[in-house]
Chain A
Amino acid sequence: MLSLRMLLMGAVLGLWGVVAVAAGPAAAADEPSAPPLDEGYEVNGDSVWDPIEPVNRGFFWVNDKLYFYFLKPVARGYRAAVPEPGRVAVRNVFRNLDAPVRIVNNALQGKVVGTLDELAIFLSNSIFGLGGIIDLHADSGKPSPEDFGQTLGYYGVPAGPYLVLPIIGSRNLRDGAGQAVDRLVDPIPSPYYLKMSQLEIAAITTGEQINHLSLDKDSYEAVLRDSLDPYVTIRDAYMQNRAAKVAK
């Protein structure tokens, strides 16, 4: 009886979600105005704070080996075994599971439209998209994904030093710490609701990473091919990307 009531409630919420997404003109209302187009070209901006560069370069080398000798071959085999629609479905499920992180952080930054859009997409994909397998909103403009690192940045916390972590990769201190906080909310690593063991969490996270790589068009290889110093190229790309996301 209880479950029927919950199902009904879910359906109503889901319907409301579809309506809200259809009616909502994306998250434009939450976004501050962009900086001027000529900003930062005439002068050299502040260089990235990288106090432990030799250590970072060491882990960069380790991660490079990990990529070519483990992740990439596994992803290649997986790509051959599972057709693309299947891998897209897996990606959608993971993305849908991450929704609580985006909802909470939109709310923490006072982004009302973003919070409601994320909530609506989550409910609608969970219910009508069969637990997130189908992304019913793939073609509509989604709010920019928010995480706790961006929330900290929103309240003025600086990026801090650049770090390359083994296996995990590029992080700045703020966003690395932010991610640790997000793991409390994210259903897979969260110690509160699914209560999986560390090994299970690690296995699922690796699976997610391999699925992601199987859909990637060798973007890491392209950086290695084009760049005179891939370490600096990736460090700058990461820092620029995070700064832009905080500003959004």
Chain B
Amino acid sequence: MRRVLISVLTLVLALLLLSPAVAAPSPKDDIRKTVDQLLVILRDPQLKGTPRREKLSTVIRARFDFATMSQYTLGKYWKSASAEEQKQFIKLFSDLLEESYIGRIEAYSDETVHYGAERIEGERAEVATSVHTGNVEVPINYRLIRTGDGWYVYDVIVEEVSLIKNYRSSYGEIIRKEGFPRLLERMAEKIRDLRNGKAKPAGGG
């Protein structure tokens, strides 16, 4: 009797241990895990300043595919850029996206996130979420691409606006009018301003 019980328990334990490996995580699971981690960091009253930023950064960088995002943002200019320029762009663009993303979510620590439908097309997927803060509700959809073990974000769609296509429109104009090196310079300046908290609204602010 006891031996039977032990073998049943062993079997159950083995199944429990095995199951996460058997069921590959869905795009929704991956996004949920990342967003939950971000919210835990944001809601921790002990965490402030640089340590908090570093923690947020680690979580974001583990889920965002900045190389693909960079390639899509540059569009046709990606191919004409040298390997060195591409590398520089990826570095600057990931820093810039991270700074603006963190800047925005820091204001939203009281938010709750609702998860909607998940759509999978081959190696790509879209997960619908909506962020509720007080009285406003913002639809945010994540687009993900499957790479090996998991799903990685290549675009964020806020209120029907693709972040990547939006960046592409302004960066494309700057490249056309001022050239690629100047774009890189301006991105570096912006990152510095955001980090120093000096990026004031250009207008009357």
Q: Do A and B form a real pair? A: yes
Q: Which residues of A contact B (CB under 8 A)?
A: 34, 36-38, 40-45, 47-48, 61, 64-65, 67-69, 84, 88, 91, 215-218, 220-222, 224-230, 232-233, 235-237, 240-241, 244-245
> Is the CB–CB distance between B199 and A225 below 8 Å?
yes
CA distance A34 to B104 in the complex (A): 28
Q: Top 7 A-B pairs ranked by shortest CB distance?
A: A68-B204, A244-B160, A224-B201, A64-B203, A236-B169, A226-B100, A232-B170
CA distance A217 to B204 in the complex (A): 18
> Is the CB–CB distance between B166 and A240 below 8 Å?
yes
Please indicate the chain B residues that have their CB under 8 angstroms from the CB of A65 in the complex. 203-204
CA distance A69 to B76 in the complex (A): 41
Please indicate the chain A residues that have their CB under 8 angstroms from the CB of B108 in the complex. 217
> Is the CB–CB distance between A233 and B203 below 8 Å?
no
Known interface pairs A217-B107, A225-B103, A225-B194; A37-B124 also in contact (CB < 8 Å)? yes
Q: Which of B12-20, B44-52, B133-141 contacts A (4 or more CB under 8 A)?
A: B133-141
Asked if B32 CB lies within 8 Å of chain A CBs, one says: no
> Is the CB–CB distance between B165 and A40 below 8 Å?
yes
Asked if B63 CB lies within 8 Å of chain A CBs, one says: no
Q: Which residues of B contact A (CB under 8 A)?
A: 72, 75-76, 99-100, 103-104, 107-108, 119, 121, 124-126, 133-136, 143, 154-155, 159-162, 164-166, 168-174, 183, 186-187, 190, 194, 199-205
Give the distance to chain A from B146, nearest Cβ to Cβ, in Å. Answer: 12
Enumerate 9 A-B pairs (CB-CB under 8 Å) in ascending A order.
A41-B164, A44-B172, A68-B205, A84-B134, A216-B136, A222-B100, A225-B103, A241-B160, A244-B161
Known interface pairs A37-B121, A84-B135; A44-B205 also in contact (CB < 8 Å)? no
**Among candidates A37, A236, A245, residue contacting B170 with C-beta atoms closer than 8 Å:** A236
Task: Determine the residue in chain B with the shortest Cβ distance to A92.
Answer: B135
> Is the CB–CB distance between B162 and A240 below 8 Å?
yes
Please indicate the chain B residues that have their CB under 8 angstroms from the CB of A34 in the complex. 119
CA distance A90 to B159 in the complex (A): 23
Please indicate the chain A residues that have their CB under 8 angstroms from the CB of B171 in the complex. 228
